[in-house]
Amino acid sequence: MGASQSAGTEHEFQDLADRTGFSLEQIGNINKRFRQLSNNEETLSREDLASIPALDNNPIRAQIINAFFDKRNLHQNETGTVQEIGFEEFLMVMTHFRPAAMGITEEERENLRRDKLRFLFNMHDTDSDGTINLEEYRRVVEELLSKAGTIGQETAKAIADAAMLEVASTTRGKMVTGISLTLLYCTTDQIVDEVGI
C-alpha cells in the first residue's frame, strides 16, 4: 500500500511540477515545510504562517501572510479570502517567489513579470477593488520606511505624504494595476534617494 501511495504522490508532484515550474525535489522540500508549518495537517492557517520567525521583523508581514489566503492569488478568478489552504494552494502562491527559469521565451518572461506584479498589487490592494487607493499607498510607504529602522515614524510619514502627492498628481486618487505598481516602488525609491536615506 505504501508503494502505491508513494507513486500517487510522485504523480501528483509531477503534475504540480508541470504547472508551477518547480522541480520534483523543490516540491518535495516545499511539501516538507508545509507539513512542518501545518503540524502535519492537510491545511494551513494564517496562524501557522505567523509562527515563522523570519517574518517577525518584515515590515509587510501581514500582507505576505494574507497573500496566501487571497483568492485572487489562488487562481480562483474571484475576490475574497479563504480561512485555510492546502498544499497545492500554498505551492501556487510560492510560485510568485520563484525566479524565472533559464531559457524561457520573451513572452513567457513578460507573462511571469505580469503575474508577479499582479501578486504584489494584490498584496497592497487590501479592499480587493482592483485599484490601490491613496490610503493603501500611504500605508505601504509608511510601513516600508518606518520599519526599516533607519528613519523615524514622522520622517516616514512625511515621505509617504510626499509620495502620495506625486502619485495623486498623476492618477487623480486611484492607481491602476500593473504599471502603477512599478511606479509605486519607483517613486518611493526616488524619494528616499532624494532625501538621502
What amino acid occupies position 120? L
Query: In the predicted model, what is the mean pLDDT of residues 157-170?
Result: 74
CB-based contact 185:132 (threshold 8 Å): no
> Which pLDDT belongs to residue 167?
67
Predicted confidence band of residue 44 (pLDDT cuts 50, 70, 90): very high
> Is 80 exceeded by the pLDDT of residue 70?
yes
Asked whether the domain spanning 107-195 has the same topology as the one spanning 2-97, the reply is yes
Per-domain boundaries in the chain: 2-97, 107-195
CB-based contact 23:98 (threshold 8 Å): no
> Which pLDDT belongs to residue 68?
94
> In the chain, what percentage of residues exceed pLDDT 70?
78
Query: In the predicted model, what is the mean pLDDT of residues 102-111?
Result: 87
Give the containing element (helix H, strand E) for 44.
Answer: strand 43-45
Query: In the predicted model, what is the mean pLDDT of residues 52-72?
Result: 89
Q: Which is more confident, 10 or 53?
A: 53
Please give the C-alpha separations between residue 146 and each of 60, 120, 121, 155, in angstroms, as whole numbers: 11, 20, 20, 8
CB-based contact 31:87 (threshold 8 Å): yes
* Helices within the chain (DSSP H only): 2-20, 24-37, 46-50, 61-67, 87-94, 106-124, 134-146, 153-171, 179-195
> Which CATH number among 1.10.238.10, 3.30.390.30, 3.40.50.300, 3.20.20.70 corresponds to the domain 2-97?
1.10.238.10
Question: Is this prediction's pTM over 0.75?
Answer: no
Q: 177 φ, ψ to 5°?
A: -75, 170
Please give the C-alpha separations between residue 151 and each of 6, 121, 167, 186, in angstroms, as whole numbers: 52, 25, 22, 19
Of 72, 110, 80, 117, the residue nearest 96 (C-alpha):
117
> Which CATH number among 1.10.1760, 1.10.238, 3.40.50, 3.20.20 corresponds to the domain 107-195?
1.10.238
